[in-house]
Amino acid sequence: MRLLNKVVVVTGATGGIGQAQCRLFAKERAKVVLADIDEQKGFKLANDISVAGGSALFVNLDVSSESDWDSLVKITIERFKKIDVLVNNAGIYRTESIQEENTADWDRLMSVNLKGAFLGTKAVVQSMRSNKVGSIINVSSTTALVGSWRGGAYGASKAALLSLTKHSSIQNAKYGIRVNAVVPGPIETEMISKNISDPEGRALSESRILLGRLGSPSEVAYAILYLASDDSRYVTGTELLVDGGLTAQ
């Protein structure tokens, strides 16, 4: 019951890592607000969690829309009275090299991966500050730390998230709000399914990981649970690697 009575908002809730979090947090007795653009999956997940005895509410949210954030905060406060935890988890992925990337897709990616977390933070902080408690977790990626032959926009957005995390932790510490990042390596979800669908690509990814395998969504969810719960009450401004040792070498 590590999240007993905590109200937790998870964006990108219906994706691989999002679903794993929502199910785990509900088991830990949180009231979970599932935020995503995928309404069908969102209502189904909320229903599954409720049927299993948890507390879940789906809210349709495009993280890049300020007015959607205003509505989410309003709905959440009306229903649950407060917001204790926000996980800025929604993200989109692109593998085009910098030279092949086009500006419209660059802008779209930045508006979801980076502006989404900026808007989310702004939206929830007011309520957290008045309660003098809160935990915000930004989901970055090891692509923030190391370059690659492919991609560029995605890694740049995730690196900027680490800076947003540090600034935000400094500016909110005196209000009792902690802000941290998790930094996953390759995790088996729809997002990277193309990269790992051919056995050669998969073997190459795995050969670079100290623990010799890709991560699972629940392994990231447990790291986020730690940062969301009071177990991490003395932890802020940090970057928690969940990468099987990928970046230790």
Nearest CB to ligand NAD, comparing residues 133 and 185: 185
Q: Does residue 226 have an active-site annotation?
A: no
216-245: contacts with ligand NAD (CB under 6 A) = none
**Member of 89, 165, 172, 229 binding ligand NAD (CB under 6 A):** 89
* H helix intervals, 114-208: 115-131, 153-172, 193-197, 199-207
Give the torsion through C-alpha atoms of 66, 116, 231, 31, to 10 deg: 50
Q: Which of 154, 175, 222, 226 is catalytic?
A: 154
* Closest by Cα among 96, 111, 124, 209 to 160: 111
**Member of 27, 29, 71, 92 binding ligand NAD (CB under 6 A):** 92
* Closest by Cα among 59, 44, 52 to 25: 52
154-213: contacts with ligand NAD (CB under 6 A) = 184, 186-187, 189-192
Binding span for ligand NAD by CB under 6 A among 1-9, 59-67, 73-81, 165-173: 59-67
| Dihedral angle sign, alpha carbons of residues 127, 75, 179, 23 | positive
**Six token digits for residue 157:** 């957005």
**Member of 18, 152, 155, 244 binding ligand NAD (CB under 6 A):** 18
Binding span for ligand NAD by CB under 6 A among 43-51, 62-70, 74-82, 162-170: 62-70
**Member of 57, 119, 139, 224 binding ligand NAD (CB under 6 A):** 139
Residues near 74 by beta carbon (within 8 Å), at least 6 away in sequence: none
Nearest CB to ligand NAD, comparing residues 48 and 62: 62
59 binds ligand NAD (CB under 6 A): no
The site map against ligand NAD for 107-136 (x = CB under 6 A) is -----x------------------------
Nearest CB to ligand NAD, comparing residues 38 and 219: 38
Nearest CB to ligand NAD, comparing residues 111 and 133: 111
CB of 231 to ligand NAD, least distance (A): 22
- Please say whether the beta carbons of 217 and 12 come within 8 A: no
CB of 189 to ligand NAD, least distance (A): 3
Integer Cα distance of 123 and 234 in angstroms: 24
Please return the burial class of 38, using the count of CB atoms within 10 Å of its CB with bins 0-12, 13-18 and 19+.
middle
CA 42 to chain centre: 16
Going along 49-176, which residue ranges are E strands?
Answer: 55-60, 85-88, 134-139
∠ CA 129-160-221 to the nearest 5 degrees? 65
Footprint of ligand NAD on this chain (CB under 6 A)? Answer: 11-12, 14-18, 36-38, 61-64, 89-92, 112, 139, 141, 184, 186-187, 189-192
